[in-house]
Structure 1
Amino acid sequence: MEAFRDCLADRGLADLGFSGYPYTWDNKRDEQDNIQVRLDRATCTDSFLSMFPETKVEHILTEESDHQALLVRVLETAPSHTGGGPRLFCFEEAWIRHEKYEEMIVEAWDAANSGEEGLAAVWQKLGSMAGSMQRWEREVFGSIRKKIKLLKAQLLEAKERALSTGYQQEVRDIEEQLREVYEREEIMYRRRSRVDWLKAGDQNTQYFQNRASHRKGKNTVKRLQRDDGSLCTTDDDMRAMVATFYENLFTSEGFAGADDLLQNIQKEEETTVCSQVGDDESIQ
C-alpha cells in the first residue's frame, strides 16, 4: 500500500475520497473467510481539481460483481442550497497583515464592553467582537481575489502610462501592493488547507487551494443517520437533527441524590472548617 501511495505522489495524483459503502471489493465468502477492502479509487491531478473543485465519488452497490461500481460526478461548483443559516465566524490569519487590524481590535473590544462581569458577559463580548470583525472584513479588508483583479488592471494601466511618461514609481507602488495581497492570499489558503510543512514565502497558493478543496470535500457532511436507521439528507433536516442532539446533550436532567451526598460529609470536617475562622473575622 505504501508503494501505491508513492506512485500516486510521483504522478501528482490525489484520492478524491468517496461516499457510500466503505469497501469496493468483496471475495463473496462466508464468516471468517470473508474479506472486504477498498481496492477501487478515483484519483485526479491538481489541474483537474482546480477546474472541477466539487467533484464527488459515490460507491454503487452491485449484486453480481465482486467489485462495487464507482460513480464520479464532475462538478465545477457545489449545488446551491436555499435557506442556509447565518455565516459562522472564522478568524483569518491574513487579517493581521492589514495596517488597520490592531486599531480595529482595540475599537471592537472597547465597543463590546458593557460594564458587566462574569462568564456570560465575556461570552457576550466575544460574540460582539466576532460580529465587528466580520463587518470589518467586508467593509475594510475586502475580498482578496477582487483586490488582486483590481490591482492587476491598475498595474496594466500604470505600465501603459509609463511608456509615454517614463514615470515608473506608480508601477513600483502597485507591484508592492500586489506582493502584499499575494502574501495574504497564500496565508489564507495555507490555513484552510492545514498544511504547514512548506516554507512560508514560497508561492504555493495553487497547491494550498487544491489542498483546501480536498479537505472541504472530505469534511462535508452529506447525510446523517437517525435513531431508527433512516437517513437524513436535506440541509434543513440535518440542521434540526444536530440542534436537537446538542440540546439533549447539554440539557441538565437534575440531580436527585443531593441529600445522600451531604449525609456523607463527616462532622469532623465541618468542625475543622469552622474552627479556621477566628472570632474577629466576618464571613462575607
Structure 2
Amino acid sequence: MNALGWNYRGLGQPQSVRVLRELVQRWKPKIVFLSETKLKKNRMEKVKFKTGLLNGLIVPIVGRSGGLAMLWSREIKVEVQGYSRNFIDAVVTVSESEFKWRITGFYGNSETHRRKETWNLLKSLSQNQGEIGGGGAPRAQRQIDGFREAIHHCKLKNLGYCGPDFTWCNMQEGDRRAYLRLDRALATPDWIEYYKDVKVHHLVESTSDHYALLITNAIGQKYSNGRRFQFEAMWTKREECKDIIKEIKKKRESLSSLVLRDKDGSLSSEINMLRKEINDLSDSEEIMWHQRSRVQWLGLGDQNTKYFHSRALDRKKRNAINSIMDDNGNWHESMEGIAEVAVSYLKNLYTTSYPSRISNVLDSIPTKVTAAMNQFLIQEFTKEEIEAALKQIHPTKAPGPDDDSLLFCKANRQECQNLIEILQLYEVASGQKINADKSSVFFNANTPDDRRSEVLNMMGTMQDT
C-alpha cells in the first residue's frame, strides 16, 4: 500500500512540479491525490505526464482557486465514482486479492459560512468509505466540532502520523510563525484491518507550506549513486557541486529534523534559509541534467523530469563502445583492444594517402581568396576575435564539424551521371568514402515518377525522401 496526498496550493511554478516529481520517484506511490493545484486542465495534464502517473482524473480550477487531481499508476485498477470541486471519489481493486476499497480525496470548502455544506457532503460519501485525505483553511472551534461530528457519522478513524505534529506552516519567522494540522488521513475499521501495518508520514518539502501525507506500509528511500567527477554547466552557478545529490539528501534530512524541533518558532529563520538552499541546489541539479540531455529546444524551466534523465542516460548508452571491428574484420571487446583499433583508425584517417588526382580537383576550384585576404586569414588571432567566437558557441554544447553538403542538378540521366562522377572524384581525391545509406535524394514535386525511378536506380542505395 503506497498512496500520497498533498494540498500543494499551486503547482504553477516549475520548482513545484519538480518536487512533486521527486516525491513520486522517491516513494513510488500507486495513487496520488492533489488539492489546490490552481491549474487549468491542459496544464495539469502536463504535470501528470511529468510525474509518470499517466492515469488520472483532473478537476480544473474555477477562477483562480481550487483544482483537484487524482493520479494513479497502471499497476492498479481505479474506477471513479464521482467528483466535484471538493472531492474525487473512486474504488480501488487490489489485483492480488481482488480486495476492493474506496478512496475519497476531499478538500473542505474554504468559505467559512459554507463549511456545514462540506460536512454534509462528507456524510453523503460515507457509504462503504475506505480512506479520506482532507485539507482546508484554519477553523474555529465550532467548525472543528462540525468536522468531528461528520467523522463520527462516517465511522472513520484517524490513522495517526509519523513526523512533525503539524501539516501546515505560515512560513513567517519568530513569534509570527504558526503551525496547524490541517491535513489528515482517515479510514474505516475494515480498511485498517486489511492494511494492518500502514502508517501516515508527514513529509516536509522545501517549496510548499503544506506537508505531504505519505500513506504506506513500506518506508524507504532510493537515491542515485555517485557519479564520476567531471565538469558540468551547473558549476558555473555553484562551484562546490561535486556531490550535489548527496548534499540535497543531507539538507532535506536536516530540514525535517529542524521542523520536528521547532516548537515555538525559534528555528524559523534557519528553516527558511535551509529551504532556499535546497531549492538552489535542485536548480543546479536540473541544469546538470539539461546539459547532459543535450535538448536545447526544451527550456531550463521544464525541470528535472524523467524525460531529461532518460535523454541523458540514452546518450550515455549511444556513446558507449562495447566492441569494435578492425580493418581486417576482427572484433575487439577489451578496453585495450578497442583503444588500439581507434588510435590506428585515426592515424590512418589523418595520414595522407597521396591521392593521384588531387590536382584535378584543385584546378576545378576557382580562386576566391586573394593574396591580401590570405594574409589576413593567417595572421595571429586577437583577444577580441577569440572572445567573439566563444560567445557564439552554445553555453552547454561542444562544437563539432558540419560535414553535410547539398548538391543541385536537374533530374535527368546526363546530369545525374555528372553528379556521380563528381562524387567518385571526391572519394579518390580525399580518401573518404561517401556513405550512401546516410545520403538522400530530394526531388521537386513536379518530377515525374518514371524520372525519379531512373535517377534512383543510377544513385544506388540513396533513398527518395
TM superposition score normalised by structure 2? 0.26
Tell me which protein shows more strand as a share of its residues. Answer: 2
TM superposition score normalised by structure 1? 0.41
Tell me which protein shows more helix as a share of its residues. Answer: 1
The structure having more radius of gyration, on CA atoms, is: 2
Larger RCO of the pair (alpha carbons < 8 Å, separation 6+): 1
